[in-house]
Structure 1
């Protein structure tokens, strides 16, 4: 049970997300499908909060000079990553989240959706589909590299 919770919380982390949580869970002894399911739920858990609260948090952080500059850089990065999302809307958001590379994922997808004013009822399902696709890809890579499929 401890491994399941560790995998869940690891998937919630912004940089690690499920790209690190699935290999961790499998290496810790979880069945690959269990590791993937737990990582998907863990990765999706903070997304509604990000979509609901990000603008308020950013507005508050802008009151601090150094943090305001950081927020500006994050928004600039989101606009750059959002080019594909702007062009293809929902499909672009799904693909941004689904590609299992650094700088993509649920956190980045939620940031881009918020910066581009994509409503939560549209963004949340698109991000969820992208997370599931990424989970399947990472699980396949993990099982292929580890040479297992129990």
Structure 2
């Protein structure tokens, strides 16, 4: 059973619009899962699916950007978390500093916009935190990435659904 199907089953008792918002908000699926569910399972129009999924994906961004640093600082009081965060930050900076220095906020926007596993708003917020990008800069970059990803996923979902209908002769 796919993650999306499991989420749909878990959210069966809530209104479809709320289910799409929630699926868009959680890190496992984000809008990459919410849009296909909205259009394919709940039969929403593309614009409604896009709007609800993007809104759901935006919901956790502000709290994440505002609270990742205080939570990290609190957890660093414990040796195991301090070791983990030191490893994570040094690894991330070592592997991605060149792109962020070269492309700046555009790199963050593109990272969030590319609808692949392990990219998206949640990871973009973590990257903004690790690279010390201030809220006033990171929020618009991440929001732009979400909007672009939503367009891509909606277009791909519409194309996939059209091909599916064409094949079945529906």
Settle same-fold status: TM greater than 0.5.
yes
Residue equivalent to 1:32 = 46
Aligned counterpart for 1:53 among listed residues 67, 77, 80: 67
Q: What TM-score do you get using the length of structure 2 for normalisation?
A: 0.78
Gaps of 5+ in 2: 1-13, 164-170
Aligned counterpart for 2:148 among listed residues 133, 138, 146: 133
Q: What TM-score do you get using the length of structure 1 for normalisation?
A: 0.88
Structure exhibiting the larger radius of gyration computed from Cα positions: 2
Gaps of 5+ in 1: none
Q: Please say which of residues 50-59 and 75-84 is displaced more in the overlay.
A: 75-84
C-alpha deviations, 1:101-139, integer Å up to 9, x for none? 011111111111111111111111111111100000000
The root-mean-square deviation of aligned C-alpha atoms, in Å, is 1.9
Classify the secondary structure of the residue corresponding to 1:147. helix
Residues 11-90 of structure 1 aligned to structure 2 (within 5 Å): 11-27=24-40, 28-76=42-90, 78-79=92-93, 80-90=95-105
C-alpha deviations, 1:40-68, integer Å up to 9, x for none? 11111111111111011112222344444
Number of residues of Structure 1 aligned to a counterpart in Structure 2:
148
